[in-house]
Structure 1
Amino acid sequence: MKISPARLAAFRILKKIELEHGLSAVLLPEAEASLSGPDKGLCHALVLGVLRHQIFLDRLIDTSAVGKKIDTDIRLILRIGLFQLKFLERVPPHAVLFESVELARFAKKHSAAGFVNAILRKTLRDDPQIAFSSDLDRLSVETSHPIPLLERWAAQYGMERAASIAHANNELPKTAFRKTPRTTGNALNELIESGDIVPSAVVANGFVSVQGNTKLAELEDAGQIYLQDEASQLVAEISASFVKRNFLDVCASPGSKTTAIAMAAPQAKGVAGDLSPKRTETLAKLLRKQGTENVAVVRYDAEQPLPFESVFDTILLDAPCSGTGTIRHNPEIRYRVKASELERFRDRQLVMLRNAADCLGENGHLVYSTCSLERTENEDVVEAFIANEKEFEVVRVEGFERFAGENETLRTFPDRDGVDGFFAAVLRRKT
C-alpha cells in the first residue's frame, strides 16, 4: 500500500509553508491541478485544517512527547495525522496510522517511524488532556491563534470580541462569487435552481454557495463567474458608487476589484496598475478572461509618484497589508504577523495614499481599503494622512450604514458579518 497522493501533496505543501513561507492560496491550486476529485478534496482539507488548528495540534504533540525534540518533518507528519484523528471522522484510524508511518519513511526518517506510530496510538488510546497556564493560553490553543495576536485584538476590540473573531476564523467560509460581463442567464439560472445558490445579503451582484456547488470552478474557468469574498466585492461596490467618467485602481492585481468596478460602471474609462510585469500580466489576463474592455493596464511603483495628472474622479487604493482579515481563507497568516511588520506596512500605505491623492481630480473620491483587522493599518493611516493633508476629510457613504466604523469609516468582520474583515475609508477634498 502506497501513500495516498492527497496526504503526500499535503505534506509537501505544509513543508513549503513552514520552511519557505509559502502561501496556501498559491500552493494548493498548483497541487490540486494534478489530483483527482477525492484526493483534491482531502488535500485541501488537510492543508487548511492543519493550519487552522496548528497550535492545538502542537500542544497535543508536546503533551504526548514531553521533553522530546521533534524534527520538522516529523512534527508536520504528526500534525497531519492528529488532525485526521481529531477532526475527520470519516477517515479510518488504521489508515491514518499506516500512512503517517509511511510518510515518515518517505521523508527518510526511518528511525522516527515508530515514534510517529506511538504518538498517534497514544492519542487514540488515552486522549491526552492539555494543561493550560491561563484563560488566554486556553483561548490561544483552542482557536490556534498566537497570544500576541489575541492581545492586540483584545486591546482594539475587547477580549470577548477578540475571542469571537478567533473562533470565526476557524469556521469554513462560504463560497461567494459574482457575475462577470460573460455571465449568461442560463448559467446563473441553473445555479439558482440547484437550490444551493442564494443571493448575497451583503452586495448587489453577489451570490453565495451554501454547500459548495461543483459547477462553480468550471464556470469560473470559463470567465462566467468570479469567486470573490463578499467583503472584497463590497469594497468594489463602494468604489463604483462614486465613478462617473473614469477611475484608477492603484494596487490592482489580480484584478478582483478592478473588474467588479468596471462592470458596475461600464460608461467609465478605467486604469489599473501594479508593480511587476508578473502582476500586471495577471491583471491583464483576468480582464481578458472576463471580457472587460474599458480598463487600461499600466505598470508603476505605487511608492513613487504615479505617472498620472490629477484627473481621476474615483481612485481605489486597496493597499498591500498584513491580511489578518482574510485568516478564514489564509490561515497561515495568523502565525506570521509581527508588530514590527504592521508598522512597516503602515509606513508604506501612507506613502501610497499620498501618491494616490495627487492623482485625484476636482470633487473626486479616494477610497482607501485593506483586508486587515489592525488599527495600525487602517484608522491610524487615515488619521496620519488627514493630519498632514488637511484639505482632505473622510465622508460618509450612504447605503452602507450596517458596516459603519469609527469616524465615517466602514468595517466588516468575520464573526459579525460572516465575511472577511475589511476596512474602507472614502476621502475627498473639503469644499
Structure 2
Amino acid sequence: MPCAQGSCLLDAPSARLAAVRLLDAVLARRQRADVGLARLPAPTRALAHEIVYGVLRRYFSLEVDVSRFLREKPEPVVRALLLAGAYQLRYMRMPAYAVVHAMVDVCKAVQPRAKGLVNAVLRRVAESEPPARLKPYQRAELPRWLYAAWRDQFGAEQVRNCARWLREKPLLSVAVPDGRENWMRSAERAGFACERGALSPLAVTLAGGTAVESLPGYTRGEFLVMDQAAQLAVLQLPVRAHDRVLDLCAAPGGKSALLARLYPQAEVLAVDRDARRLPRLRDNLRRMRATNVRLVHADARALPLPDAAVNTILLDAPCTASGILRRHPDAKFLHDAGDVRRHAVRQRAMMQEAWRVLRPGGFVLYAVCSIHRAENEDVIAGQGEVVRMRRLLPARDHDGFFFALLRKPA
C-alpha cells in the first residue's frame, strides 16, 4: 500500500536486511552506523536501530555465542547475519522459530549459499544457554586493546563497572536553561516520566528512545539534548557580561546554544571547520533562539583571529568517543590504539591555537567525551594553571566525560 509520500514503508524483513547490511558495513568496512540508519524510513529505522546497536553493544559475547557452532570463519556478511539473529534470540524475546525463519529469508538476499548454515547455527543458539566462559574483555564487551588500556588506567573493577553501563541503552538527557521545575511538570502532564539530573541543575533525564520532538516546548527552544556530564562541563566556564566566548568545534551547536541562553549579554563565536555541519548548527541555534551567536567557518588549528583576541574559550575537541560507547557502540570498531594517539596530536594542536588567541588571565575549558588519559590530562599538560579538572566514568545517568578549566597567566 503506498504511503502518503508515494513510497512504501519497509516491513520488518526489510528492516532486518538493512540491519545486516549496516552491521557488515561497520564490522567489515569501518563505516559509521548512524549515517546508514538516518537514511532509512522511520518505521524501518526503529527495528534496524535496535538490532544494529544491540549487536554492537553485545558483540563480543555474541561472537563467542555463534562461533562455537561454526567449523570455519564465515564471510563477513554472513557473520553479521548470524550476530543479528543471535541478538534477537537472546535479547529481544522473539519466538525462536520466527527469528530463524526471518533470518534465513534475509540470507536469501545477501548470500543464498549460506541458508543451511544460518538455519543450523541459529537453531543451535536458540536451543543452548549463553556461553558461560568468557574472557574478561569479552565479558566487558570491549575490544581487547581497549579493555587492556582501561584496565591499566583504572583497574579491572572500574572497567567492570563502566562496562555494566556501556552495555545498556542510554537515558535521554536534556538541559532546560530556564525553569527546570516548570518544564518537568509540563512533561509529566504530557505523560513523560522524568527525573532531575544529579550532576547539573539544568538536567532532566527521561527514558531512552523518547521522541525528542514530542517533548513540550521543543519548537519554542525550551530545552536542548545534552548529556548531563557535558552540561556540568559547560557550567564550569566563567563567562562575564559582554565577554566574547569562542566555542571551537561547535557543531551541532548544543553547547553554543546553551552558552548563549545562559549568558545573553555575551557574544558567542561558534567555530566549525565542516561546512556541511553548519546548516544543522544554524537550525539548532534558531530553534533555541540563541540570537547572540555568530557562526565562523574555520579550522580550530588555524583560527582567523589575532593573538589574545578572546576572554573565554570552550574547546570540545574531536575524540575517540570512548566515554559514549553506549550511544555510539560502533566507535568500538571505528577506532584503535593508533587513533587515540592521532586524536591526541590533533587535540594538542587545537589547545595550542586556543592558547594563542586567549587573552592573559582568560580561561580555556578543554572537554572531550573520551576517558583515555592520552586524550585527557596528557593533552593539557604544561598549559597554564589547572583551575578545575574532572573525569567522569560512564554511569547509569551520565556518559563518560573529561573536562579541565585552565587559566592563562596574566
TM-score by length of 2: 0.89
Does residue 12 (structure 1) correspond to residue 47 (structure 2)? The answer is no
Cα gap change, 1:13/1:221 in structure 2, threshold over 3 Å: closer, same or farther?
farther
Per-residue deviation at 1:190? 2.3
Supply the distance in 2 between the matched residues of 1:224 and 1:21 (Cα, whole angstroms): 37
3-state SS in 2 of match to 1:81:
helix
Supply the distance in 1 between the matched residues of 2:103 and 2:386 (Cα, whole angstroms): 55
Per-residue deviation at 1:40? 4.2
3-state SS in 1 of match to 2:295:
strand
Per-residue deviation at 1:186? 7.8
Matched with 1:404 is: none
Per-residue deviation at 1:25? 3.3
Supply the distance in 2 between the matched residues of 1:379 and 1:147 (Cα, whole angstroms): 23
Q: After superposition, what is the alpha-carbon deviation per residue over 1:14-71, rounded to whole angstroms, capped at 9, x for unaligned?
A: 233234423233333332xx133xx5432221111000011111111211113x1301
TM-score by length of 1: 0.85
Structure 1 range deviating more: 204-213 or 287-296:
204-213
Question: Quick check: which one's helix share is greater?
Answer: 1
Matched with 1:149 is: 146
Matched with 1:381 is: 379
Per-residue deviation at 1:12? 2.9
Cα gap change, 1:118/1:220 in structure 2, threshold over 3 Å: closer, same or farther?
farther
Cα gap change, 1:224/1:17 in structure 2, threshold over 3 Å: closer, same or farther?
farther
Identity across the alignment (%): 29
Contact 1:3 1:102 in 2 (8 A): no
Q: After superposition, what is the alpha-carbon deviation per residue over 1:270-306, rounded to whole angstroms, capped at 9, x for unaligned?
A: 1011112112333222212222110100111112244
Matched with 1:42 is: 47
Match of 2:187 among 187, 191, 194: 191
3-state SS in 2 of match to 1:82:
helix
Matched with 1:400 is: none
Does residue 428 (structure 1) correspond to residue 407 (structure 2)? The answer is yes
Correspondence 1:183-262 to 2 at 5 A: 189-193=185-189, 194=191, 196-210=193-207, 213-214=210-211, 216-217=213-214, 222=219, 223-239=221-237, 241-244=238-241, 245-262=243-260
Per-residue deviation at 1:87? 1.0
The one-letter amino acid paired with 2:100 is L
Gaps of 5+ in 2: 1-10
3-state SS in 2 of match to 1:22:
coil
Structure 1 range deviating more: 193-202 or 166-175:
193-202
User: Number of matched residues?
Assistant: 397
The one-letter amino acid paired with 2:85 is G
Supply the distance in 1 between the matched residues of 2:334 and 2:291 (Cα, whole angstroms): 38
Matched with 2:123 is: 121
Q: After superposition, what is the alpha-carbon deviation per residue over 1:348-406, rounded to whole angstroms, capped at 9, x for unaligned?
A: 111110101111124211111111110001101111x43xxxxx21113xxxxxxxxxx
Supply the distance in 2 between the matched residues of 1:220 and 1:328 (Cα, whole angstroms): 27
Contact 1:306 1:359 in 2 (8 A): no
Contact 2:187 2:216 in 1 (8 A): no
Contact 1:280 1:298 in 2 (8 A): no
3-state SS in 1 of match to 2:371:
coil
Cα gap change, 1:326/1:217 in structure 2, threshold over 3 Å: closer, same or farther?
farther
Cα gap change, 1:286/1:215 in structure 2, threshold over 3 Å: closer, same or farther?
closer
Structure 1 range deviating more: 12-21 or 161-170:
12-21
CA RMSD of aligned residues (A): 2.4
Supply the distance in 1 between the matched residues of 2:23 and 2:391 (Cα, whole angstroms): 32
Gaps of 5+ in 1: 387-391, 397-408
Does residue 74 (structure 1) correspond to residue 78 (structure 2)? The answer is yes
Match of 1:370 among 362, 368, 380: 368
3-state SS in 2 of match to 1:414:
coil
Matched with 1:286 is: 284
3-state SS in 1 of match to 2:39:
helix
Does residue 335 (structure 1) correspond to residue 333 (structure 2)? The answer is yes
Does residue 166 (structure 1) correspond to residue 166 (structure 2)? The answer is no
